[in-house]
Structure 1
Amino acid sequence: MENFYLFVIMSILLIILPGPDTAIATNNTLTVGKAGGFKTVIGTCCALMIHTLAAVVGLSAIIVKSAMLFSVFKYVGAVYLMYLGFKTLWALKSKKPAELAVENKYENKSCFKQGFLTNLLNPKVAVFFLTFLPQFVDAGSDTFVPFLTMGLTYTVLTALWFVFYIYLLNQISAFMKKPRTQAVFEGLTGTVLIGFGVTLAMEKTH
């Protein structure tokens, strides 16, 4: 395995870039609380472990090389992101802002599932693992241990970043959890999720 420290630095830079996982974690932290954010992150990390194992055994390579399988993952993932986005906007429209902080407390059971499925059904993650990880492996060498090591490292770094991010949101929760602020962020999150879904659906198939 080559340039492990460079891999760590690159991974950190990629992890902190906002994406669907960040949008879900933000929404669930603001609407459900710190516990909801942590459950979302656990779901995301579990999905990353599956992507890691898939890369190790070669399943990701099959998905990337098969136009049909890639399309299936792409459209299922896109539909799910858009579903979450529309669900967020519909919930915002169907109840008063003052009710958000109270009613959303009962939605934390779905936080893990949302984090898990959002990451698992994103084919870009599979593509990332199969295009990014090999750059740090010696040519012609066995990829099992290096891929597993890098996948675990990426998952741990993701967890650490989101724990910090959730605590940061929680520290400014007095402002962030105001009904008006929460309504704005829920509307923004719903719109962003729909945008991610549309972008994913329009991604060119290999």
Structure 2
Amino acid sequence: MENYLLFVFMSFLLIILPGPDTAVITKNTIVKKKAAGIQTTFGTLTALFIHTLAAVFGLSALIVKSAFLFTILKYVGAVYLIYLGCKSILYIMKKQPVTDQAPNQVNKYANESNFKQGFLTNLLNPKVAVFFLTFLPQFAGTGEHAFIEFLALGLTYTILTMIWFFVYIYLINFVSHFMKKPSTMKVMEGFTGGVLILFGVKLALEKN
């Protein structure tokens, strides 16, 4: 495997760049606490593993080469991001403050699938498939062990993502102790909701 340490370094730089995954994890960690952020992260990691397998077996190449499949996946992903963003904004527009809501209302919101949000946000993003097909091959060989090397690189990227987001979640959770006011949490919920909508619109408007 060529330049493995360079791959690790470059991957880390790419992972820490804010994206839709970061926005969803941030929102869930602040609003629903650390456990929700971790569950969201595991959803993201599962999607990354599927992207790795898809790239290894050539499914990602099929999506990238097919304008129709790429467009369908792009718009589905964009709609889902916009849906999450709109839901966040609608949530903070409720008349009742968070602390005054009925217990069943709070529990209903808290029990939403954080794993599913992280999973679908990453899985439905065709840019991730393109990334795996363009970035990973630069560090994998072309010999008989290319399959194993490609898989190892994808797993390495997934593990690095896990490490970064776990650290990020703990930092967010620590800072959130100073942001317990319902008004502050509503601002953060609205901000991350707006960011998700922007990411969705950006994804929808990008050329294939």
Which bracket does the TM-score occupy, shorter chain normalised?
A: over 0.9
Quote how far apart the aligned CAs of 1:173 are: 2.0
Counterpart selection for 1:120 from 117, 120, 123: 123
Which residue pairs with 1:35 in the alignment?
Answer: 35
Question: How do 1:1-206 and structure 2 match up within 5 A?
Answer: 1-99=1-99, 103-104=105-106, 106=108, 107-139=110-142, 142-205=145-208
Alignment partners' CA distance in 1, 2:106 and 2:126: 29
SS in 1 for 2:2: coil
Greater mean alpha carbon deviation, residues 133-142 or residues 47-56:
133-142
Q: Which amino acid aligns with 1:179?
A: P
Greater mean alpha carbon deviation, residues 100-109 or residues 77-86:
100-109
Quote how far apart the aligned CAs of 1:97 are: 3.8
Contact 2:141–2:149 (Cα < 8 Å) also in 1: no
Name segments (4+ residues, structure 1) moved above 3 Å. Answer: 95-106, 139-142
Q: Which amino acid aligns with 1:91?
A: Y
Contact 2:53–2:151 (Cα < 8 Å) also in 1: yes
Contact 1:51–1:126 (Cα < 8 Å) also in 2: yes
Alignment partners' CA distance in 1, 2:130 and 2:152: 18
SS in 1 for 2:161: helix
Quote how far apart the aligned CAs of 1:140 are: 5.6
Q: Which amino acid aligns with 1:44?
A: T
Quote how far apart the aligned CAs of 1:171 are: 1.1
Instruction: Specify whether residues 133 and 100 from structure 1 end up closer, same or farther in structure 2 by C-alpha distance, changes over 3 A only.
Output: farther
SS in 2 for 1:94: coil
Alignment partners' CA distance in 2, 1:159 and 1:18: 15
Please give the per-residue CA displacement for 1:43-68, whole angstroms capped at 9, x wherever unaligned. 00000000000011000000001000
Contact 1:100–1:179 (Cα < 8 Å) also in 2: no
TM-score, with structure 1 as normaliser: 0.94
Quote how far apart the aligned CAs of 1:105 are: 5.2
TM-score, with structure 2 as normaliser: 0.93
Alignment partners' CA distance in 2, 1:166 and 1:135: 31
Alignment partners' CA distance in 2, 1:15 and 1:108: 28
Q: Which amino acid aligns with 2:14?
A: L
Q: Which has the higher helix share?
A: 1
Instruction: Specify whether residues 195 and 104 from structure 1 end up closer, same or farther in structure 2 by C-alpha distance, changes over 3 A only.
Output: farther
SS in 2 for 1:176: coil
Alignment partners' CA distance in 2, 1:33 and 1:105: 13
Q: Which amino acid aligns with 1:121?
A: L
SS in 2 for 1:175: coil
Alignment partners' CA distance in 1, 2:4 and 2:171: 28
Query: What is the percentage of aligned positions where both structures have the same residue?
Result: 63
Structure 2 unaligned blocks of 5 or more: none
Alignment partners' CA distance in 2, 1:98 and 1:91: 10
Alignment partners' CA distance in 1, 2:3 and 2:180: 42
SS in 1 for 2:141: coil
Greater mean alpha carbon deviation, residues 101-110 or residues 125-134:
101-110
